[in-house]
Structure 1
């Protein structure tokens, strides 16, 4: 891929998003500004409404993009960071678009089922992280534990917003360090449980 193709791809993605917004607005019979404007401004709410939620979504996307970039440019970590990037970006979209809270239930998909899919993905990545340096795996598991607390509070303790959203923010911030720690790890770093070579061998054909 030529470097200029990245710019073209970015413009195409942006165009598709805007075209989709116009199509959805027409189907719903709403003005397109309902999809493009800030929700707090449209509702006449204070400008700081949802600031933690907005910041969390920004960190989700930043961590996912960073993981994807390092997976693309650093072959040593590609097998672990590529699925991690997919999970981060999926969670970012979920958090931004309320997929598990609103969209899923409207389509007949229970919230717990969506959580289960994310959980299985996280468990798969946790297994892959056994081949990373200890600090990288520790950062992943710490972030996963904080996010699990957020999910537990969301399901069992409705209304505890500070605990739920606070644990989520801390979890994604810790997860955002995973690609940086992996990329900066010394080449001779000792993986968790010494499984790096075993994982490398299983990934080879034949």
Structure 2
């Protein structure tokens, strides 16, 4: 077995080389992208026809359209990006590594759900309008979180998942503050939101590193 020296480029095994993508390889991604594009277009035009919004209100940058400061909501935006990073990384690992599918899919679904919940206030603004109690959504998210984290619990208890441990601690602290502190003070809100943001940051970092390890391409053996 020969190892690549410092000046010798790494060679990829035949299995690891990117394969040419033909019609069969792109059919499902094409259908998903087309469905997403058409779905958003239908939603946009339906909202405009119902007088819910103008196109500029939902397409332009909020600071340009509504005159909010450029820094307005940037912590929330970064948090949304963190959920999306975790969902994308674990979703890719689930699609390409069948052995990891049962582990990664719950994490991917949970991250995507929490991204949508944070961005569109599903549990406290949208779903109650359709008769779905806020607590029901929170219970569903809690159960999905338990399902996603449960397989990693032994490693967590042995201290082998420090990034995930900090993420869960941040979420727990944010939830605890939200339950205990009944009055809405600036300090309590800041501590709660920063604990949650810390949790999201470590959550995204953990799953990005985990997925990268699962997808890492190894040098070919000769």
Following TM superposition, by how much is the alpha carbon of 1:87 offset from its aligned partner in structure 2, in angstroms?
Answer: 0.3
Displacement, 1:136? Answer: 6.4
Gaps of 5+ in 1: 186-206
Instruction: Give the Å deviation of 1:119.
Output: 0.9
Distance in 1 (CA, whole Å) between partners of 2:93 and 2:52 is: 42
Partner of 2:193: 165
Is the 2:166–2:199 Cα contact (8 Å) retained in structure 1? Answer: yes
> Could you tell which deviates more after superposition, 130-139 or 117-126?
130-139
Distance 1:135 1:75, change over 3 A: farther
Q: TM-score, structure 1 length as denominator?
A: 0.77
Equivalents in 1 of 2:53, 2:95: separation in Å? 40
Q: Which runs of 5 or more structure 2 residues have no equivalent in the other structure?
A: 1-22, 215-222
After superposition, the Cα gap between the structure-2 partners of 1:31 and 1:78, relative to the gap in structure 1 and judged at 3 Å, is same
Determine the structure 2 residue equivalent to 1:142: 166
Query: Rg bigger for which structure?
Result: 2
Deviates more, 1:136-145 or 1:114-123: 136-145
Q: Which residue pairs with 2:142 in the alignment?
A: 119
What's the TM-score once normalised by structure 2's chain length?
0.72
Q: Among residues 141, 148, 151, which one is paired with 1:128 in the alignment?
A: 151
After superposition, the CA RMSD in angstroms is 2.6
Higher relative contact order (CA 8 A, sep 6+): 2
- Aligned partners of 2:56 and 2:65 also within 8 Å: no
Residue 80 (1) aligns with residue 103 (2): yes
Q: Give CA deviations for 1:134-159 in whole Å, capped at 9, x if unaligned.
A: 66644334312211222333344334
2:164 and 2:203 in contact (8 A); partners too: yes
